[in-house]
Amino acid sequence: MESRRGGMGWSPPGFLRRQAVYFLRGSRHVLMRHRQTQHRQTQRREFLTAAAALGGAVATGHRLSASPTLIKSRSKMERVRVGAIGLRYQGSVIAHKAQMYGDVVAVCDVDKNVRDTAKSAFGSTPRDFEDYRDLLARDDIDAVTIGTPDHWHTKMVIDACRAGKDVYCEKPLTLTVDEGKHLVKAVRETGRVVQVGSWQRSDQRFRLAAEMVRAGRIGKLQQVDVVLGKNKTGGPFPAKTVPGNLNWDLWQGQTPDVPYLEERSHYTFRWWYEYSGGQMTDWGAHHLDIAQWAIDSLPVEIEGKAEYPTVNDGFNVAVDFHAKYRYANGVVMTVADTGRNGIMFTGDQGRLFVNRGTISGKPVEELKQNPLNREDMKLYDFDNQELPERAGKLDAIINHMGNFFDCIEARKTPISDVESQHRSVSTCHLGNIAMKEDRVLTWDPELEIFPEDENANRWLAREQRSGFQIP
């Protein structure tokens, strides 16, 4: 399948090949720096005191792990054999990160050009497939990465679990709330390890923010304000002949069979409700996940406001949107499309802001005198401290993928597990539903329904095209 686009705009031909070179060079650079760092550490170890060891802390005063970057060396027989499904930008990124810990032995994409480029980008010569089901049928594949458009995630994860594969799947995890229920059930029944690509949980800034809030560093949490950014507008777009290299029927999957519009695919698929949920599920699967991680509760009331495009054959996700949630523990969360992208936590003793560039606020400054060390963090109990803390997308994904492989070996629950991610993206879906209904909705988080509200409940699932249904 074609992957989600991780950046803005379309990448030119040859992107994957250049990405492969980039990542290979990057990996060699990281290892060289690691060796240099080890040498310096050895030279200084005799005169470094315990206090000086804390000098490696980030500017916030949060201590970094003293352990070097270690990627466990394994024999060929011990290494996990990975099949990569969906190989455009983000699919390529996660496949290459997986190759740091295992061996990519198969690639799959509904676009032959993408598939051919991906096949040549890896150091080995992996098998290639157009249909992911043929890849899953192989007994010589242990785990898969899934970087397809959003509407394919749930079915592929369920099918992979039932085929006996562990899974790293890109966010957002689901297209509807009901899909998440099916997915949680399948993972529980099969016992497979599933890591969702909500990598901000493996970014030191976001994790520190959630840990500080849960530890009471801003007092009692009262409000969370999240800014996601604007949805794209555009259209009408012309119908075109399906390119000969693309299996359009397979790309559409469960969604309605419609004429091919180039703008329905590639990065821009996320601006169509048929395939995604706009910024509410794209950025929301990241930011609302971190917010809810810190809130430590589930919403019970949601209201939303939005405007919608009226153009035919054009992007149809909400514009000028706003949502407000009330949680069972009393916390209020707002979500908006304007303002500074990120998350603001407000408690009765202070505020804390975090995004992909910074973590700030008086509680952060106070970490210099009162650090919150990694070994004292509480939100995840299977933390491999041999993986140093990282920030930024590409670096944090290294640790996120490392956590996945650690959990494969130990058969433990990963940091972005299916159950938490189902709940996080469901909160995103609830916001979109409230916007469509344009009213206050009451939610039962235990039953996962809107009590006695048929109009709202009709949005919890979608009709699926024959042959692609999720059981």
Domain CATH for 365: 3.30.360.10
CATH number of the domain within which 174 lies: 3.40.50.720
> 73-77, 102-106, 143-147: which range is least confident on average?
73-77
The Cα angle at residue 334 between residues 328 and 335, in degrees rounded to 5:
125
Residue 77 or 151, more confident:
151
349 falls within a domain: yes
Q: For the beta carbon of residue 185, count every other beta carbon within 10 angstroms.
A: 12
Q: In the predicted model, what is the mean pLDDT of the chain?
A: 87
Report the distance separating Cα 206 and Cα 424, nearest Å.
Answer: 15
9 falls within a domain: no
Report the distance separating Cα 94 and Cα 146, nearest Å.
Answer: 8
pLDDT in tens, 303-348: 999 999 999 999 999 999 999 999 999 999 999 999 999 999 999 9
DSSP state of 441: E
Query: Residue 13 pLDDT more than 50?
Result: no
Report the distance separating Cα 62 and Cα 48, nearest Å.
Answer: 19
> 129-133, 181-185, 201-205, 380-384: which range is least confident on average?
380-384
Whether residues 346 and 400 share a domain: the answer is: no
468 falls within a domain: no
470 falls within a domain: no
Amino acid of residue 33? R
Whether residues 248 and 185 share a domain: the answer is: no
Whether residues 269 and 279 share a domain: the answer is: yes
8 Å CB contact between 195 and 168 = yes
Domain count, the chain: 2
What is the β-pairing status of strands 299-307 and 441-442?
Answer: antiparallel
DSSP 84-133: EE--SHHHHHHHHHHTTTSEEEEEE-SBHHHHHHHHHHSSS--EEESSHH
- Which strands make up the sheet holding 127-129, listed edge to edge? 127-129, 103-108, 81-85, 143-146, 166-169, 194-196
67 falls within a domain: no
245 falls within a domain: yes
Q: Which of 99, 186, 213, 112 shows the shortest CA–CA distance to 422?
A: 186
Whether residues 320 and 277 share a domain: the answer is: yes
Whether residues 87 and 168 share a domain: the answer is: yes
For residue 90, the enclosing domain spans 15-30+74-199+385-418
Whether residues 182 and 286 share a domain: the answer is: no
Report the distance separating Cα 14 and Cα 114, nearest Å.
Answer: 9
Q: Assign 435 a pLDDT band (cuts: 50, 70, 90).
A: very high
pLDDT in tens, 267-311: 999 999 999 999 999 999 999 999 999 999 999 999 999 999 999
Whether residues 225 and 146 share a domain: the answer is: no
Query: What's the whole-number mean pLDDT along residues 106-114?
Result: 97
Whether residues 287 and 229 share a domain: the answer is: yes
217 falls within a domain: yes
Whether residues 243 and 313 share a domain: the answer is: yes
45 falls within a domain: no
- Which strands make up the sheet holding 221-227, listed edge to edge? 359-360, 350-354, 342-347, 221-227, 332-336, 319-327, 299-307, 441-442
Q: H-type helices in 215-275, by residue range? A: 248-252
Q: Quick check: helix, strand or coil at residue 438?
A: coil
Whether residues 26 and 85 share a domain: the answer is: yes
CA-CA distances (angstroms) from residue 125 to 2, 106, 118, 122, 434? 20, 8, 10, 7, 48
Model pLDDT, residue 72: 58
Give the residue carrying structure tokens 């990627």. 71
Whether residues 86 and 177 share a domain: the answer is: yes
| Cβ-proximal residues to 294 (8 Å cutoff; 6+ apart), any chain | 209, 210, 213, 214, 221, 224, 345
Whether residues 213 and 152 share a domain: the answer is: no
Q: Quick check: helix, strand or coil at residue 203?
A: strand
Give the residue carrying structure tokens 């242990």. 142
